[in-house]
């Protein structure tokens, strides 16, 4: 009798372990079931957490780019919003972090635009985001993925650095 109970308990335990192991290894939460698909890129929760940790930087960037004007249009109509986001920058950020969804015109909304900026910076400088290396982040925002290595972005960094000091 004891052997039969032990055998049943052991079988149930193995099934639980296999089920939990499958869910963990395949990025699927048990509550979502076996057909749920994990979305690639960082989640909105993760992006918003970085937005909070980068608050002084984002505020300085917005001041330099547009004087915090969400309706700003610059670079001969190619850049919009407080962060002066180009459509190619937005496409790049959105392909890395599909969770941000939305349309390019949404870059005129502060919260949405910040998510785009953070996603873009996570894509090209994840470590700099994590350690809050504002110089690297500013130069990449201004000069693209390799902007931190371009001498042309140094003056831009000096403007952001000055805004950070205010």
- Among residues 51, 27, 37, 55, the alpha carbon closest in space to that of 122 is found at 51
Same domain, 74 and 148: yes
- CATH number of the CATH domain containing 49: 1.10.530.10
Q: Can you tell me the distance from the alpha carbon of 115 to that of 40, in angstroms, rounded to the nearest whole number?
A: 16
* Domain presence at residue 22: yes
Contact yes or no for 130/136 (Cβ under 8 A): no
Mean pLDDT of the chain: 86
pTM: 0.78
Contact yes or no for 23/37 (Cβ under 8 A): no
pLDDT tens digits, residue range 27-67?
Answer: 444 444 444 455 699 999 999 999 999 999 999 999 999 99
* Domain presence at residue 82: yes
* Domain presence at residue 19: yes
Same domain, 16 and 81: no
pLDDT band at 117 (very low <50, low <70, confident <90, very high): very high
Q: How many domains does the chain have?
A: 2
pLDDT tens digits, residue range 1-17?
Answer: 656 554 554 554 444 55
Residue 17 belongs to what domain range? 2-32
Contact yes or no for 164/57 (Cβ under 8 A): yes
Same domain, 56 and 132: yes
Same domain, 111 and 91: yes
| 3 state SS for the chain | CHHHHHHHHHHHHHHHHHHHHHHHHCCCCHHHCCCCCCCCCCCHHHHHHHHHHCHHHHHHHHHHHHCCCCCCEECCCCEECCCCEEHHHHHHHHHHCHHHCCCHHHHHCHHHHHHHHHHHHHHHHHHHHHHCCHHHHHHHHHHCCCHHHCHHHHHHHHHHHHHHHC
* Domain presence at residue 6: yes
Same domain, 73 and 154: yes
Same domain, 92 and 160: yes
Same domain, 61 and 14: no
* Domain presence at residue 131: yes
């Amino acid at each position: 009798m004891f052997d039969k109970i032990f055998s049943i308990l052991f079988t149930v335990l193995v099934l639980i372990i296999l089920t939990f192991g499958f869910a963990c290894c395949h990025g699927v939460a048990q509550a979502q079931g076996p057909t749920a698909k994990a979305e690639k890129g960082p989640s909105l929760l993760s992006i918003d957490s970085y937005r909070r940790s980068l608050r002084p930087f984002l505020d300085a960037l917005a001041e330099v780019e547009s004087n915090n004007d969400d309706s700003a249009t610059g670079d001969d109509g190619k850049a919009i919003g407080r962060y002066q986001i180009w459509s190619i920058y937005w496409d790049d950020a959105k392909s890395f972090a599909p969770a941000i969804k939305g349309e390019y015109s949404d870059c005129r909304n502060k919260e949405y635009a910040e998510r785009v900026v953070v996603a873009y910076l996570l894509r090209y400088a994840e470590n700099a985001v994590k350690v809050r290396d504002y110089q690297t982040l500013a130069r990449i925002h201004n000069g693209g993925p390799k902007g931190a290595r371009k001498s042309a972005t140094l003056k831009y960094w000096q403007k952001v650095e000055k805004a950070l000091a205010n």
